[in-house]
Structure 1
Amino acid sequence: MDQTTAPDVGTWTGRQKLTLVVLLGAQFMFAVDFSIVTVALPVIGSSLGMALTDFQWIVSAFALAAAGFMLLFGRITDLFGRRRFFLGGMALLTLSSLVGGLATTPALLLAARVGQGLATAVVTPAALSLVTTSFPEGPRRNKVLGLSGALLASGFAAGSLLGGVLTDLLSWRWTFFINVPVGVFLILGGLAVLRESRSAAVGRLDVPGAVTVTAGMLALVYGVTNAERAGWGGASTLGALALSAVLFAAFFLVELRSSNPLVPVQVLRRRTVSWGNLGGLVTFSMASALAFLMTLYLERVLHQSALVTGLIFAAWGVTSVFGGLLAPKAMKWLGSSHAALVAGLTLQALSCAVLFLLGTDTATGIVLVVVCTATNGFGHVFSVVSYTVVAVSGIPDEEQGLATGLASMTQQVAFTVGIPILSAVVAARVDGRPDAGAVLGGVVTGVLTTAAVVAVGAVLVAIFLRRSTTAAVPAPAGAPAAEAGVVTGGR
């Protein structure tokens, strides 16, 4: 359905401002939470007596629950109340974080990580759909999504730095405990200012669809994370990936026949949804992969400490904030959100490509990393905001939880697959040699691969979203859609 939207008018009310503090505060908290524990992994694993090969499960337990159940909870919040599930998810996160900080065994820690992942699967689509249903399509929603993207990216950078500081100065347990007071604050704020929102359509949950897509996501994430331990050619990895393909095929067939599908096929056929989420998958997966590559370079080639690495990444976080703030204006300058998405991906690809100049000289290497990651962070958040606008535009309020659930699931899957894929690229190039020269060769191969993937993504989005409706830039009152830069066309 082609759609244009009247511009937002009026000033921000006090309630709207407080609503943003709560919803965007939750987004920032989850972004911090994703990266803060990653920095402390070696210390956590050693403290609890975990084998080195089991360290990855501290991350994988979270990723399995978050990505596996994201789409399911996105739809459940549509049907049974977004505010209710937002508050419930925040309570689960707060409790799980407390348990994680107090954990004395690997089993208890992993259970807490599963709880945090489930909380992420609940709160992320609920918060984003509360944003998109509280602010109609137009400049105001775009501005809010720009702030959300800026906080998301800066949260990852802040988490890396905060994780190193807390672990070094206090204890790894504070990477969990810090969530408790913040979670309580957001719960109280949510109780005070959030209004209930749910789909006006009455329907039942598509149980067969929910089972097949959730099982498929779990199999996919398990297969990808298991590849770091068993290899991409391992029987367990290939078996999990094959099972995920079968389950996703079954899910598609179930949705075709369901009278009340979890994901209506017509939604998936929207170019804004499918190609918008492809842009999101590319930008998130390759940004997380670049962070991994630069950490490897700084610590294994230039021999910098974890704290120095975190400080170097601070520039990435700063430019990410500016990218999020400028993205809504850029959509207006460029004429549509899909054009802004292509621009962001292109900048991201170019900044990765320049990193092929990395060498063993410390001063030159640090300057290159700071400049290129700062540029990459700007382009990345540009892409994040743009793809979010594309992926939720033209979707009715009763399906916003579904649309935002898809967008949020894309993020979680991207975070999960980016590092293992680039890790395999680096490992193939290094071929077991531990010296700095071999690692440098692996990193350079990795950044060129990253640049190529993002560039291909930009080309595909540019081609296939050109004729799609984005409604990113609303027309002035009485003006035709063409004047506002709204791209119209089929699905």
Structure 2
Amino acid sequence: MPASHNRWWALVVLCLGVLMIVLDTTIVNVALPSIRTDLAFTETSLVWVVNAYMLTFGGFLLLGGRLGDLYGHRRLFLIGLAVFTVASLACGVATTQGLLVTARAVQGLGGAVVSAVALSLIMNLFTEPQERARAMGVYGFVCAGGGSVGVLLGGLLTSTLSWHWIFLVNLPIGVVVAVLCRALVPAGSAQAEQKLDWAGAVTVTASLLLAVYAIVNGNEAGWTSARTLGLLAGAAVLMAVFLVIEARVASPLVPLGLFRHRNLATANVAGVLWAAAMFAWFFMSALYMQLVLGYTPMQVGLAFLPGNLVMAVLSLGLSARIVMRFGIRGPLAGGLLLAAVGLALFARAPVGGTFWVDVFPGMVLLGIGAGIAFNPLLLAAMNDVGPEDSGLASGVVNTAFMMGGALGLAVLASAAAARTASLQAAGAAPAFALNGGYGLAFAAGAAFAVIAGGLGAWWMREGRPLQPALSAGGPGH
């Protein structure tokens, strides 16, 4: 175990690597108009700049986490980081549509591995309850706050340099993180005696790939179209085959007993609901500010800052104290309910809204809610497992967030578009019709957050959530 001082520097290095991945999910959105013009994308083909990344990212999270358990978390972190960085170079120098989309898919693969094992490395570095809570607060802030930083950085780089730099900026970061990771993060141990469950790996990865593909293309193809329903049915069949394999194989990719841990299972369900609400909110609130209130992309990025600053104050200290004082159940439920109130405020925001009355209060409440809830959600999911399963648990948590976010954004965006079309057909002005659609999505997101908070309050087991569960063996092993 490294010295205490080195552990915190190692945390900074790991979070910087994670931040690079988180930024990439939003920084690209700001540059899409420039990419479309420069590489002559059509409206339909442009979505693959985003979807190619989401497809491989969502599909390989679970496998990436398990590979980290079997072959070493630091080794997989460095491999994933190298793949992501090289793919970023390919994106940055891309002059054709095919090269950019292919490189984005490879970026998603590298990002999935980094995201899946980073949380495991942090949990294994910090086993003392108070330190672990503080470390989770830092990690949570990076995950929750990095998106809006991406909006600001994307706007700055695209407007002052070119869209190529939103990818090229990853190169020096990736190199620095790799060098510091080797110096500061302990190598840890691998489980070389266990073999990878290839049948399980292929079936679950194929199932997730089909599911993500169906979700991200649901609005374009139609949710009741033969293609969408066929893909979802195929994903369900593959998942059923995967579960049969896991029940019978000697060394399963995902030991089904893992889901007997109530807190892990509850945290993942709550994570799906919360991610569905937050992904949709982030996307829709940016559109509300741009298309209804007339903000520029840079103004949108600045509008997210108050919530991020509140989240930073909570995540980087206060959240750990709250968890140490009250456990995981109360703060999780309370934070999610505060976020629900913030979403409800956005649901009532009018066409002629102002920042201080109609944007700022909701942003602050969402910042407080996220700052309080993210830490106990991660602790609830990860504290139930031992170090030999930490990568898998991290992959499961990240997959839950990814699938929940993708599904929530697709479904709520579809509902918002349908509501907008209905209002336009009834004779509403474009701004009012758009705002009506966004309001419906925000209200639905608030309902998701309330349900997630209810799960945390009524189903989560308090027990001893902050015990150093990653000591040898862990609970249930």
Aligned to 2:217, what secondary structure does the other structure show?
A: helix
Counterparts of 1:431-446 in structure 2, within 5 Å, are 431=421, 433=424, 435-446=430-441
Residue by residue, what CA displacement relative to the aligned partner does 1:351-372 show, whole Å, maximum 9, x if unpaired?
Answer: 1112233112242x55321220
Residue by residue, what CA displacement relative to the aligned partner does 1:313-368 show, whole Å, maximum 9, x if unpaired?
Answer: 1222212212312222111232x2132211111111111112233112242x5532
2:330 aligned to which of 339, 345, 348 = 339
2:38 aligned to which of 33, 47, 54 = 47
Q: CA deviation at 1:107?
A: 0.7
Read off the aligned partner of 2:147 and give its amino acid letter.
Answer: F
2:93 maps to: 102
Residue by residue, what CA displacement relative to the aligned partner does 1:134-164 show, whole Å, maximum 9, x if unpaired?
Answer: 1115111111011001122221111011101
Read off the aligned partner of 1:53 and give its amino acid letter.
Answer: T
1:152 aligned to which of 143, 152, 158 = 143
- Long gaps (5+) in structure 1: 1-9, 476-488
1:459 aligned to which of 430, 454, 457 = 454
CA distance in 2, matches of 1:105, 1:94: 19
1:373 maps to: 363
1:329 maps onto 2:324 in alignment: no
CA distance in 2, matches of 1:269, 1:250: 20
Counterparts of 1:65-464 in structure 2, within 5 Å, are 65-200=56-191, 202-325=193-316, 326-334=318-326, 336-363=327-354, 367-431=357-421, 433=424, 435-464=430-459
**Given that residues 276 and 445 in structure 2 are in contact (C-alpha distance below 8 angstroms), is that contact kept between their aligned partners in structure 1?**
no
Aligned to 1:197, what secondary structure does the other structure show?
A: coil
CA distance in 2, matches of 1:133, 1:420: 35
4+ residue runs over 6 A deviation: none
Residue by residue, what CA displacement relative to the aligned partner does 1:24-69 show, whole Å, maximum 9, x if unpaired?
Answer: 1112221112111112112212211111112211111111111101
| Cα root mean square deviation, aligned | 2.2
How many equivalent residue pairs? 466
CA distance in 2, matches of 1:157, 1:381: 14
Q: 1:464 to 1:427 in 2, by over 3 A?
A: same
CA distance in 1, matches of 2:166, 2:139: 22
Aligned to 1:358, what secondary structure does the other structure show?
A: coil
Q: CA deviation at 1:413?
A: 1.9
Aligned to 1:17, what secondary structure does the other structure show?
A: helix
Q: 1:386 to 1:109 in 2, by over 3 A?
A: same
**Given that residues 66 and 392 in structure 2 are in contact (C-alpha distance below 8 angstroms), is that contact kept between their aligned partners in structure 1?**
yes
CA distance in 2, matches of 1:87, 1:211: 23
CA distance in 1, matches of 2:61, 2:142: 20
Percent identity of equivalent pairs: 35
CA distance in 2, matches of 1:431, 1:225: 21
TM-score, scaled relative to structure 2: 0.93
- Long gaps (5+) in structure 2: 470-474
CA distance in 1, matches of 2:398, 2:14: 14
Segment of structure 1 superposing worse, 140-149 or 290-299: 290-299
CA distance in 2, matches of 1:25, 1:417: 27
1:472 maps onto 2:462 in alignment: no
